[in-house]
Amino acid sequence: MRAYVMIGAPGSGKSTYASKLAETVNAFIVSGDDIRAELYGSAEIQGNWAEIHDRIEELVSEASGMPVILDGTHYRASYRKEAIALLNSYGYSEVEAVVVNPSVETCLKRNASRSRKVPEHVIRTIHQKLNASLKNLYNEPFFRINYIF
């Protein structure tokens, strides 16, 4: 069974691509933003990671039997490792990384046109840390790595 882990800074286009991918492969999207909105009333509220993780796991469990897409930044290798382990534990043996990584300027421009804006310094920090972590992406246990430009 195949699963996808979206990787990219806020404003990169991850969620837009995840929606298109979900239509193409008939996948269920598990979105951290949607879960925070569900649990706390707003995607802007970062909330309690343990609660969010529990809800992610519930949704992955419910999606078993169909492809699933984890839509989040996954900008650290440790976050990706945790996502892969979770997916593997539910029988997803083919986990594909989907890297959406335009320039930080593109992310900032897209963010400026959104109704829910992420602070600029957060986007810059995540973008920088993401690019540092991508240098070792091929050493991570992904079935496939797909770069979206």
DSSP 75-107: -SHHHHHHHHHHHHHTT--EEEEEEE---HHHH
- The more confidently predicted of residues 115 and 96 is 96
CB distance 74 to 83 below 8 Å: yes
In order, the DSSP letters of 100-132 are E---HHHHHHHHHTSSSPPPHHHHHHHHHHHHH
Task: Decide: 9 and 108 in contact? Cβ < 8 Å.
Answer: no
pLDDT above 90 coverage of the chain, percent: 85
- Label residue 44 by pLDDT band (50, 70, 90): confident
Percent of the chain topping pLDDT 70: 100
The pLDDT, as a whole number, for residue 129 is 98
Domain ranges of the chain: 2-148
Q: Which CATH architecture has domain 2-148?
A: 3-Layer(aba) Sandwich (3.40)
Model pTM? 0.94
As separate numbers, helices (DSSP H) first and strands (DSSP E) second, the chain gives 6, 5
Neighbour tally for 59: CB within 10 Å: 18
pLDDT digits (tens, 9 = 90+) for 70-79: 999 999 999 9
**Residue 38 exposure: Cα atoms within 13 Å on the Cβ side:** 12
pLDDT score for 101: 97
> What is the per-residue pLDDT for 111?
94
